[in-house]
Amino acid sequence: MTCVRMEKIVVLDGYTANPGDMSWHALELLGKVEVYDRTAPEEVVERAKDAKVVLVNKVKMSAQVIEALPALRYIGVLATGYNVVDMKAAEEHGIIVTNVPAYSTMSVAQMVFAHLLDITNSVGHYTTAVKSGKWAQSYDFCFYDKPLQELAGQTMSIVGLGNIGSAVARIALAFGMKVMAMTSKGADELATMGICKAESYEELFGKADVLSLHCPLTEETRHLVNAERLALMKPTAIVINTGRGPLIDEEALAEALNTGRILAAGVDVLSKEPPTEKNPLIGARNCHITPHIAWATAEARGRLIATAINNVQAFMEGHPINVVK
């Protein structure tokens, strides 16, 4: 009788992708699987010991960790960004690293407009007002004590026109908005999409009724939104960030909101997550914050897990896909 070796597969922090409403069954068909909801830094080496395949989301796979795991041949990142992996160390040890691209495009684009519509239509405010009896006490058939704003005709300025930025642009155009973008794409290509190419950040910020961030976090884009650029914006402008928290100088944005320099902000990401109570945006005027959930619809998480498992299977079959360099 032939004994088939079952390779050890360890998921070190599976909870955010699968808090219990998804299944790891397809992964279990590929090897001996151990799933941990969360793993502390000091637990990584012990839990991943003897594993050929490790899946991580936010757990850091440092050079020191990789060095301590001689059996490791594959790291699958349960996200698009792979900065949690020391790529140089992985390459030196012959370890394949994969990610999951474009699984949350429409979910994140949807959150951009969830924030934007909540700000412009004050849905949460009016729901609370009705429940508190203000409409029932109104002399008129309707009740409104806060301005409502139409998006048609306003300018959406987008930084970064990849999968998510392009989806946001399409939705904005469907709302009748004008779209301007800062992107490496050429002006002619943008024109075919109905988008105007910004020539400078000064133009992009100055003309924005809504600014939406969809660029990678690099040393060049860190604090892209800062006091100097916020000073260029209209007092009625809205900033939306579903990209990366450090794209924004949070002190500067809080100051702009609190002084009325701009109207409002909707953010799904912060510079430190989870944040401390001292984060300046938490108490800032007209700052709407969601806890990094734009990616987390059931549909997006289902695609994430399915793609991650397909990545593992392709690796085991000898033709890895979604490999990052």
- HSE at residue 273, side-chain half, CA atoms within 13 A, is 14
Q: Which helix (H) or strand (E) holds 10?
A: strand 8-11
Q: Does residue 322 sit within a domain?
A: no
Predicted confidence at residue 6, as pLDDT, reads 80
Helices (H) and strands (E) in the chain, counts: 12, 12
4: pLDDT confidence band, cut at 50, 70 and 90? very low
- Identify whether residues 142 and 236 lie together within a single domain: yes
> In this structure, what DSSP letter does residue 247 have?
G
Neighbouring CB atoms inside 10 A of 133's CB total 9
Whether residue 291 has a cis bond before it, omega within 30° of 0:
no
pTM of the model: 0.93
What are the residue numbers of the active site? Answer: 244, 273, 292
Identify the CATH number of the domain in which residue 203 sits.
Answer: 3.40.50.720
Q: Does residue 325 sit within a domain?
A: no
Q: What pLDDT, in 10s, does the model give residues 268-307?
A: 999 999 999 999 999 999 999 999 999 999 999 999 999 9
Residue 206, classed as helix, strand or coil, is: helix
Q: Does residue 120 sit within a domain?
A: yes
Task: Say how many domains are in the chain.
Answer: 2
Residue 226, classed as helix, strand or coil, is: coil
Q: Which of 288, 262, 273, 284 is nearest to 111 (CA)?
A: 288
- Identify whether residues 85 and 113 lie together within a single domain: no
Q: What pLDDT, in 10s, does the model give residues 131-161?
A: 999 999 999 999 999 999 999 999 999 999 9
Q: What pLDDT, in 10s, does the model give residues 17-34?
A: 999 999 999 999 999 999
Q: What pLDDT, in 10s, does the model give residues 109-131?
A: 999 999 999 999 999 999 999 99
Predicted confidence at residue 325, as pLDDT, reads 84
Q: Does residue 281 sit within a domain?
A: yes
Q: Does residue 176 sit within a domain?
A: yes
Q: Say which residue the tokens 């806890």 belong to.
A: 291
Q: Domain range spanning residue 41?
A: 8-103+298-316
- Identify whether residues 159 and 304 lie together within a single domain: no
- Identify whether residues 97 and 34 lie together within a single domain: yes
- Identify whether residues 78 and 135 lie together within a single domain: no
- Identify whether residues 97 and 130 lie together within a single domain: no
Quote the radius of gyration of the chain (alpha carbons, Å): 23
186: pLDDT confidence band, cut at 50, 70 and 90? very high
Predicted confidence at residue 5, as pLDDT, reads 58
Predicted confidence at residue 260, as pLDDT, reads 97
214: pLDDT confidence band, cut at 50, 70 and 90? very high
Q: Does residue 323 sit within a domain?
A: no
Q: Which of 217, 274, 278, 276 is nearest to 248 (CA)?
A: 217
Strand partners, 211: 157, 239
Predicted confidence at residue 133, as pLDDT, reads 98
> Exposed (0-12), middle (13-18) or buried (19+): which is 147, by Cβ within 10 Å?
exposed
- Identify whether residues 278 and 304 lie together within a single domain: no
- The two tokens of residue 43 are 């637990």
**Alpha carbon distances (Å) from 120 to 9, 64, 243:** 47, 49, 21
- Identify whether residues 272 and 147 lie together within a single domain: yes
- The two tokens of residue 177 are 């908005």
Q: Does residue 2 sit within a domain?
A: no
Predicted confidence at residue 3, as pLDDT, reads 41
Q: Does residue 64 sit within a domain?
A: yes
Q: What is the largest CA-CA distance in the chain?
A: 85
Strand partners, 54: 10, 75
For residue 1, pLDDT over 90 is answered with no
Which residues 6+ apart lie within 8 Å of 312 measured at CB? 9, 27, 30, 53, 55, 74, 76
Helix intervals (H) in 53-200: 63-67, 87-92, 105-121, 123-131, 163-174, 187-192
Contact at 8 Å (CB) between 238 and 266?
Answer: yes
- Identify whether residues 246 and 183 lie together within a single domain: yes
- Identify whether residues 76 and 37 lie together within a single domain: yes
Chain centroid, CA 110 distance in Å: 12
Q: What pLDDT, in 10s, does the model give residues 231-265?
A: 999 999 999 999 999 999 999 999 999 999 999 99
- Identify whether residues 132 and 63 lie together within a single domain: no
Q: What pLDDT, in 10s, does the model give residues 48-93?
A: 999 999 999 999 999 999 999 999 999 999 999 999 999 999 999 9
- Identify whether residues 175 and 27 lie together within a single domain: no
